[in-house]
Structure 1
Amino acid sequence: MDDQPQASRHVPIAGVIGWPIAHSRSPILHGHWLKRYGIAGHYIPVPVAPEDLAEVLRAMPRMGFVGANVTIPHKESVLALADVVTDRAALIGAANTLIFRPDGKIHADNTDGYGFIANIRQHQPDWVPDLGPAAVIGAGGAARAVVASLLESGVTELRITNRTRIRAEQIRSEFGAKVVVYDWAEAGNMLDGAMTVVNATSMGMEGKPALRIPLDALAPGTLATDLVYTPLMTPFLEEAQARGCHIVDGLGMLLHQAAPGFERWFGRRPEVDDELRRAVLA
């Protein structure tokens, strides 16, 4: 007869799926929390080629997985494979957090927008969303999450520009009349009067092209934030700070977006603090 305690038979496993996945900092992040709170659980990187995604997703719950984070290139594809999709994931058109329910159903959510706003609130608690227009540079998946969260926070006008204008136009058609599209050539003008400015592109990241947009129109007191966190202090944030803007780096978005998933998988709401930042940066 097996007299092993029930609790030790079901150690929850979560992970992050992507292709490639070796670069992900999520295992460090969740591993830090598991150790800090003394939780018996595991969080591992799971490399999944696009052609294997459906098969792997169906197998993971049977292997003891309680959920997973999702990164490039699977964030859109998982929506079609999920049994339940939250309204915000459907609106954004991507999921970054999966919960494998006891009944075998896959629940898909998107916590990127939550992470974006929580990062701002933590580092600039006096930020007022409706103080003036918001300006978003970029129209990819991350930008869609930012747009959704800014509008939900109460921004009354949201300006957006993208190198491929049609992607910005698509965001306007889906998110409504508060969204105003600017040509890429007019990106500098878009910042005039904006009180919240977001770089939601990968430009300025290590190994990527620089963000070549004139920032002359940035006013002192504007909130400037970058989704890039390698480097932490991007050229965009450096110039914004020099112009008297309040700046928020992109690392906190990564940390905060992870918290809701961790709570669902491991049963504890984790803290996002300086100790966590140091662990992930190390």
Structure 2
Amino acid sequence: MIPLAGVIGDPIAHSRSPLLHGHWLRRHGIDGHYIPLHVRASDLGGTLALLPRLGFRGVNVTLPHKEAVFALADEATDRARAVGAANTLTFRDGRIHADNTDGAGFIANLRQGAPDWAGDRPALVLGAGGAARGVVAALLDEGVPTVTLANRTAARAEALAGQFDDRVRTIDWNDTGPALADHALLVNTTSLGMTGQPPLDVDLSALPGDAVVTDIVYTPLSTPLLTAAQARGNPTVDGLGMLLHQAAPGFAAWFGVTPQVDDDLRRAVLG
């Protein structure tokens, strides 16, 4: 059977995953297909049961299904269990294997975009959703000594911090600007600054000059946060690389080739 894979979400038309997997399929001469699938929550269980019978080797998972597919999986990696969500499913031996590569993709993108970044200094993370949970877990695994969380809804930040040890603390959203003085990495995991969303208004004046600023948003590629940081001379890392790096493990599992994340791939995904 022709190997198939895809991405499921609701909505899904905006996804760039077909572009990047299609690029890898062509590069490696693989006679396979990667298909976007619009799946509603009510159809999720039935879809996951049907896909392997249609020849699918696995799927990526995007909003709003990451937690739901984790609960439906037969097996899960440690990193998926750590965040209680999955973005990569592999169908093998009649079972659903769940993984979460978001954190690994975030770290790989950070190291590629800011090679001088060192994980031995504090980080400040904006947001307290599922993306923030994966980023915090990955930063702690990298040895970051403390992670500070700031979220517009303080209770959500406190709930997320409670899932980790005392290396994770919270501050009030309005205290973000002054708190930047004590951090070497600023990460935006919120939708603020994304095309069609309100701007992210953070005063960067206290941020150390060598602190790295990264945004997991990639539409636009240079968000207002990154533009402001670049104007100050801070090193910045855009969010597109996280999308690219998180995709590689799934492609390797489904199509048997470990792909490269390079400039050709970025150009293909940017269209």
With the shorter chain as reference, the TM-score category is over 0.9
The SS at the match of 1:166 is helix
Deviates further, 263-272 or 208-217: 208-217
| 2-structure distance, mates of 1:217, 1:54 | 48
CA drift of 1:73 comes to 0.9
Indicate the residue corresponding to 1:272 in structure 2.
Answer: 261
Alignment of structure 1 residues 46-65 onto 2, 5 Å:
46-65=37-56
Indicate the residue corresponding to 1:97 in structure 2.
Answer: 88
Kept after mapping to 2: 8 A contact 1:223/1:246 = yes
CA drift of 1:164 comes to 1.1
Q: Which of 79, 98, 107 pairs up with 1:88?
A: 79
Kept after mapping to 2: 8 A contact 1:18/1:72 = yes
1:171 and 2:160 correspond = yes
| 1-structure distance, mates of 2:132, 2:179 | 16
CA drift of 1:244 comes to 2.0
| 2-structure distance, mates of 1:227, 1:133 | 18
Alignment of structure 1 residues 104-143 onto 2, 5 Å:
104-130=94-120, 132-143=121-132
CA drift of 1:189 comes to 2.3
Q: Which of 13, 20, 24 pairs up with 1:33?
A: 24
Indicate the residue corresponding to 1:256 in structure 2.
Answer: 245
Give CA deviations for 1:94-144 in whole Å, capped at 9, x if unaligned: 11000001x2100011000010000011121121010x2100000111111
Give CA deviations for 1:219-275 in whole Å, capped at 9, x if unaligned: 111011000111111110111112221100000000000000000000000010000
The SS at the match of 1:67 is strand
Kept after mapping to 2: 8 A contact 1:218/1:240 = no
The SS at the match of 1:261 is helix
| 1-structure distance, mates of 2:233, 2:125 | 19
Which consecutive residues of structure 1, in runs of 5 or more, have no partner in the other structure? 1-9
Kept after mapping to 2: 8 A contact 1:21/1:47 = yes
For these two proteins, the number of residue pairs brought into alignment is 271
The SS at the match of 1:76 is helix
Kept after mapping to 2: 8 A contact 1:219/1:244 = no
Indicate the residue corresponding to 1:78 in structure 2.
Answer: 69
TM-score by length of 2: 0.98
Indicate the residue corresponding to 1:238 in structure 2.
Answer: 227
| 1-structure distance, mates of 2:183, 2:233 | 14
Which consecutive residues of structure 2, in runs of 5 or more, have no partner in the other structure? none
| 2-structure distance, mates of 1:190, 1:59 | 50
Counterpart amino acid of residue 111 in structure 1: T
CA drift of 1:47 comes to 0.8
| 1-structure distance, mates of 2:42, 2:199 | 33
The SS at the match of 2:163 is helix
Counterpart amino acid of residue 116 in structure 1: F
1:45 and 2:36 correspond = yes
Counterpart amino acid of residue 268 in structure 1: V
Indicate the residue corresponding to 2:148 in structure 1.
Answer: 159
Larger of the two Rg values belongs to structure: 1
| 1-structure distance, mates of 2:172, 2:156 | 11
1:66 and 2:57 correspond = yes
| 2-structure distance, mates of 1:247, 1:116 | 13
Give CA deviations for 1:138-174 in whole Å, capped at 9, x if unaligned: 0111111110111100100111111111221122111
Counterpart amino acid of residue 90 in structure 1: R
Indicate the residue corresponding to 1:228 in structure 2.
Answer: 217
| 1-structure distance, mates of 2:203, 2:85 | 31
Q: Which of 132, 136, 155 pairs up with 1:147?
A: 136
CA drift of 1:12 comes to 1.0
Indicate the residue corresponding to 1:4 in structure 2.
Answer: none
The SS at the match of 1:89 is helix
